[in-house]
Amino acid sequence: MTAATTDHVFDVNESNFEAEVLQASLTTPILVDFWAEWCGPCKTLGPMLEKLAAEFNGAFRMAKIDVDKNQQLAAMFGIRSIPTVVLVKDGQIADGFAGALPEGQLREFLLRHVQPGEGGAAVEEAPVVVETPEEAINRIQQQIAAEPDQPELKLDLALALMQAGQADAAEAELTSLPANLATDARAIRLRSQLDLARALVGAPSLGDLQQRIQADGADWEARDLLGVRLLLEGDAPAGLDQFLAILERARDWNDGAARKRLLAAFNTLDDADMVGRYRRRMASLLF
Q: For the domain that residue 104 is a member of, what is the CATH number? A: 3.40.30.10
Q: 161 by DSSP, 3-state: which?
A: helix
- Displacement of CA 161 from its chain's centroid (Å): 15
Residue 272 Cα distances to 57, 113, 194, 267, 276, angstroms? 30, 16, 21, 10, 6
177 with 254, same domain: the answer is no
Q: Please tell me the distance from the alpha carbon of residue 171 to that of residue 127, in angstroms, as a whole number.
A: 34
The angle, 0 to 180 degrees and rounded to 10, between the axes of the packed helices 185-199 and 167-175 is: 140
The secondary structure of 211-261 as a DSSP string is HHHHH-TT-HHHHHHHHHHHHHTT-HHHHHHHHHHHHHH-TTTTTTHHHHH
Confidence of residue 221 (pLDDT cuts 50, 70, 90): very high
pLDDT digits (tens, 9 = 90+) for 180-220: 777 777 788 888 889 898 898 899 999 999 999 999 999 99
pLDDT digits (tens, 9 = 90+) for 32-79: 999 998 888 888 899 999 999 998 988 999 999 999 999 988 888 888
- Selecting among 39, 49, 87, 161, the annotated active-site residue is 39
pLDDT at residue number 130? 62
Question: What would you report as the CA-atom Rg of the chain, rounded to the nearest whole angstrom?
Answer: 22
138 with 107, same domain: the answer is no
In-domain check, residue 257: yes
11 beta partners: 64
- The rounded percent of the chain whose pLDDT value lies above 70 is 93
**Tally of structural domains, the chain:** 3
In-domain check, residue 166: yes
User: Does the pLDDT value for residue 12 go beyond 60?
Assistant: yes
- Phi, psi (deg, nearest 5) at residue 37: -60, -35
Where in the sequence is the domain holding 75, given as residue range(s)? 9-112
Say whether 42 is catalytic.
yes
In-domain check, residue 266: yes
212 with 179, same domain: the answer is no
Q: Please tell me the distance from the alpha carbon of residue 210 to that of residue 220, in angstroms, as a whole number.
A: 12
If one compares 24 and 184, the residue with the highest pLDDT of the two is 24
Residue 131: CB atoms within 10 Å = 17
- Selecting among 32, 42, 73, 257, the annotated active-site residue is 42
13 with 89, same domain: the answer is yes
> Mean of the per-residue pLDDT values for the chain?
86
108 with 140, same domain: the answer is no
Instruction: Return the closest-CA partner of residue 228 out of 243, 207, 212, 213.
Output: 243
In-domain check, residue 55: yes
pLDDT at residue number 129? 53
Range among 34-43, 122-131, 222-231 with highest mean pLDDT value: 222-231
User: Does the pLDDT value for residue 177 go beyond 90?
Assistant: no
Bond before 83 cis per omega within 30 degrees: yes
Which CATH number goes with the domain that contains 223?
1.25.40
36 with 101, same domain: the answer is yes
In-domain check, residue 82: yes
212 with 175, same domain: the answer is no
- Domain end residue (candidates: 50, 78, 112): 112
pLDDT at residue number 122? 43
Instruction: Return the closest-CA partner of residue 74 out of 86, 59, 62.
Output: 86
Confidence of residue 123 (pLDDT cuts 50, 70, 90): very low
Say whether 39 is catalytic.
yes
In-domain check, residue 235: yes
In-domain check, residue 69: yes
Confidence of residue 128 (pLDDT cuts 50, 70, 90): very low
Confidence of residue 4 (pLDDT cuts 50, 70, 90): very low
In-domain check, residue 117: no
